[in-house]
Structure 1
Amino acid sequence: MFPPEIWLQIAYHIPPHLLADLYAVNRQWYDMAMNARYRQISFAFLNRGMLHDLTRLRDPAVARRVRSLHIHPYFVKEILDKAVHEPQPPLSPHSLRGKLSGLFRDHGHNKRLARRSRTPATLDMDNPAELVKSVVQVISGLTNLSHVHIAWSGLDHIHDLPVPFLAAAFRPSVLQLSLEISLEKTVDLLSHTSALTDLEELDLFLRLDHQLSAIEYERILVEHVAPAINRLHRSLQKLSLRLCEPVDLAPLFDSLRHMSCLDNLSISIPTSAPHLGDPAGFGKFLDRHRYTLSHLTLRATELSGPGLTVADEEPLSAWVNDALSFLSGPVKLRSLEASLALFPVEAAAVCLGHLGRTLTSLTLTGRYLTYDRVDELLSAVPRARLRDLRLGPVTLSPQLVDLLAERLPALRQLALLVRDVVGCEGDLPVYYDRTEQHDGQIGSFFMEMEGRRYGHWGLRAIELERSSFPYRMQYAEDYKELFEGCVPSLCRA
């Protein structure tokens, strides 16, 4: 019999949906299959899967396997809608509602399980409060829960019914919390963050139900959202903040205290005014954390606008410049990531001008970058410090490789998203069709590169990916052999 470590190594290479079918092989496989099956649970709709999970998770031996919980309280709306719009005929034991009503009934063969889970002997499915109470008990039994994702926006007519079971997921074992929530609903839910004593990551995606005035939204940000985040200041290491539409978050930023453990910050800035409100709010928040913050991710979003194309990028670039002007000194960032799909290249250049001096890792992806753009952006990055660069899409040319080797001699890891390949910078790419480029141009690149040798370049790894389908580069092995010949340090890695 193999030791458990061997079985775990084998299981690691088996897809979870196949692993769950191998529970009957032996005791070790049963344990691994059950872990795979119940590692992640979702409660959203009253279907057979949710009913099965609610039943099985009453058993502590099953409940302890859950690590990740996703909750969308739509099922409360389903129950309310049935109660309001449908007559109440006698329940058939074979109907869905009949099965729901009997779900928690203590039949003779299941008395021991019912006592262990302390679930009520009966559940009236016409009473949403009873369902909520039972779901609270199930979630409260998930003793090893570490990641919680809650989506709660709209659904106005269910009022605060979900709060008890949503708050039941707030426990000291939770390390990661993702909230996609209407700002109006934070008043009831976020008061419970005091239970999250060891939370390390908070992803907050704020929506608006458009029920309140701007003054009321500001009051909620200051009196409810800010205190909820501030209660996490002893443990919070990563904060991600996203908006569905522009909101003035300056009062929130002004109300957030210094978080001594905050190492990673991700901010999505709406492309439309007022973006995140007064730029001083975000700028001063960033300044308060300039000694602890190591990783910064910046994106632009336009989730409520007419589309994904931004007509005028200048206002957002100006907003970013204004925000960073409130830094009173250098931010000791090691890593900066900017998703350029909507984030202006000019704004990325501004960020590098303010934040680039200490960077060892840089990611600039999401928009095609010309040779001149790459030259402009890298001019703000110190030659001696940058170790890791991910860039693109770009046109791969010998001149681009020359530029990277000259500007970044200390670079160790390079990843390029390649749109096309040319033998000389400025050549127009030629395609057979939409996916395969003309072999002659690729051959010209190889011929030009074979005469180059970058003996001073300390590169240890290079990764080339197509930026569109198919994502694998043509002649991938040939590129690998080519660069190993041009960059001696690749062979020594």
Structure 2
Amino acid sequence: MPTTGDDLAPEIWLAIADEVTASIASSGGRLSPRYMSVNRIFFNLYLDSVYGDVQWTKLDEAMMRRLKRLQEPIIAKHVRTLRIHAWFIDYLMKRDADTIVPSTLPARILSFFHAGADQHPANRGQTKLMSSISSKTIMNLMISAIHNMKNVFEYYFELRDLRLTKDSSHFLVAARQAFSSSLRKLSVHTTIFKFKSALALADFENLEELELHFDYQCHRVHGEDAHEASKFAEAQELKDTIIPFINLRKETIQSLTIASYSMVDLSDFFKSIGPFRSLRRLSANVCLDSKQLSDPKALVDFIHEHRNSLFELDIHPRPPEEDFVNADDTVRRRKESWVRIQKSLLAHRDVARSLEGLHAPVGDLDACLALIDRSSSSLTHLSLNDRIFDMEDLKRVLNLFARNPFRLKSLLVWVQDLTVPLLLLLAGRLPGLHSLVLLFETCSVDIDYSGHQPRDQFAKELGIRSREGRLDWQVEHISIIYMRGPIGPGDAELLGIPSTGGYTDQRYMNDISAVIPSVKSRKGIQWHRQLPPRRINNMS
């Protein structure tokens, strides 16, 4: 008898499903609903793709429809990632305090839930803010959905200024308890004083990745004495709540991200946490000047202490919290704050020997080259931020990989001029590159003699070099970004720069994709930092 799909082992179907989803994901697409009818494996795969990442960030009709579906355990069990921005809850709580909720609210909720999916064509695609639902009703619905989520691995919660009432506290406790055993990644945004409400020492015993974002604490009383008293109180809260929470998980945490918009000095914080048994990744988005890091040795010693386990180091210095003078002066002080850390790291000869991912400002170019050289035999992902490279300085960087040109898989770099010789240089020196993020100030060959009218000379030169066989490159994911053009909010967030437009300019990516057949997507930014997952999840 002929073999049918039902005769194939589940392992084969899983392999087929993996290939299908990988192919669709690489091109930025989404699994079609028609796959649900293939078999149960694809049925679950589709539900994973739709409900795997749930975002409760805006109370509109789209969120309410999804919230309705998540009341069903068979749907909620497919949630792997939950993201909550509590601003809309706080908004509803403040509104409820000023208005009387209509007595017909339950009927209104039920009528919404039982309303058909078909809408008038004029209303399709609209996402109106739901203004007639009380905060208590919404939180009860979310708590019910959370109790059905048995497989959440990642939880992102922006607490911000949410008022801690009986109902909101009940919601926070429910989320902690529901995810306690399954959660592997936790990200919390709030002020240092509110972390106690979102964290509990007994919860999240299997946590592997932790992101803590310390929001700025508004001071109701002005004056130097009040300001210093608040900083002291924040430091004490770090010591009493956050540091113990981290240290109780130092046997399991493999990835740690600290982002601080607070004025608190983090020197004692870095001295007090750890050591971690298997810290693979460290990300620090903090101010490195003498006010927020009075002892630079604290951060340097922390990195040095974990030198044998760290595979990825991501440093994003924030501008010093001083009176604004001008943009150039702010950039200068930011650079100086990083250079003092950079040179202290170089004093330890065994730092950065086994890094696979390095994302940091260039700072002092010679010091930057020395750090890269130390890890050039292991480095696969490199970001060079806060410096616009000319061809000669870029060659100095690429020369460090001459011994193993196929090692580097992903590169982010800023350049002055986008030219065909630049691409030929990268293709020749880094033939094994998998993803490229290239930010440029100008494309001089596309500027006419009047100084501003764009032409198509760049695309023409690319075509010529391609026909000559000089662009035989296997790069798969690219982001070629004109810094003076529009940059979409999603790309800007990943780059850590302000957004300047609705959509990132695609013109130069189109030109390059047309002559390099291996390019699969124009999402190099999304792919850039993706180290092999085994480094975070599977190594011990």
TM norm. shorter chain > 0.5: yes
Unaligned stretches of 5+ in structure 1?
Answer: 104-124, 423-427, 454-458, 482-493
**2:424·2:470 contact (CA, 8 Å) conserved in 1?**
no
Q: Which amino acid aligns with 1:235?
A: T
Encode CA deviations 1:186-222: one digit per residue, 9 max, x unaligned. 1232224x43232222222221233571111111222
**1:76·1:158 contact (CA, 8 Å) conserved in 2?**
no
The SS at the match of 1:138 is: helix
Distance 2:68 2:459 in 1: 64
**1:258·1:289 contact (CA, 8 Å) conserved in 2?**
yes
Corresponding residue for residue 153 of structure 2: 146
Distance 1:152 1:369 in 2: 40
1:304-453 superposed matches below 5 A: 310-313=330-333, 314-321=335-342, 323-324=344-345, 327=348, 329-338=350-359, 343=361, 345-347=362-364, 349-354=366-371, 356-359=373-376, 360-361=378-379, 362-366=381-385, 367-377=387-397, 381=400, 383-384=402-403, 387-388=407-408, 390-394=411-415, 395=417, 396=419, 398=421, 412-413=432-433, 415=436, 417=438, 419=440, 429-432=445-448, 436-438=455-457, 442=461, 446=465
Distance 1:34 1:443 in 2: 43
Distance 2:264 2:105 in 1: 50
**2:280·2:312 contact (CA, 8 Å) conserved in 1?**
yes
**1:182·1:209 contact (CA, 8 Å) conserved in 2?**
yes
Q: Which amino acid aligns with 1:188?
A: S
Q: What's the Cα RMSD here?
A: 4.5
Distance 1:221 1:376, change over 3 A: farther
Of 183, 186, 190 in structure 1, the residue corresponding to residue 195 of structure 2 is 186
Distance 1:245 1:333 in 2: 32
Q: Which amino acid aligns with 1:266?
A: S
Encode CA deviations 1:424-471: one digit per residue, 9 max, x unaligned. xxxx64525665453599389959x97999xxxxx9845776333324
Stretch of structure 1 that moved more, 130-139 or 171-180: 130-139
**1:392·1:416 contact (CA, 8 Å) conserved in 2?**
yes
Stretch of structure 1 that moved more, 136-145 or 413-422: 413-422
Corresponding residue for residue 87 of structure 1: 100
Q: Which amino acid aligns with 1:466?
A: I
Corresponding residue for residue 67 of structure 1: 80
Distance 2:193 2:96 in 1: 26
Shift of 1:285: 0.5
Shift of 1:271: 7.0
Q: Which amino acid aligns with 2:148?
A: G
Shift of 1:71: 1.7
Count matched residues: 437
Shift of 1:154: 1.7
**2:315·2:359 contact (CA, 8 Å) conserved in 1?**
yes
Q: Which amino acid aligns with 1:203?
A: E
Distance 1:348 1:149, change over 3 A: farther
Distance 2:55 2:469 in 1: 57
Distance 1:430 1:417 in 2: 17
Corresponding residue for residue 176 of structure 1: 185
TM-score (norm 2): 0.66
Q: Confirm whether residue 254 of structure 1 aligns to residue 271 of structure 2.
A: yes
| More RCO (CA 8 Å, sep 6+) | 2
Shift of 1:294: 1.6
The SS at the match of 2:339 is: helix
Distance 1:32 1:446 in 2: 43
Structure number, greater radius of gyration: 1
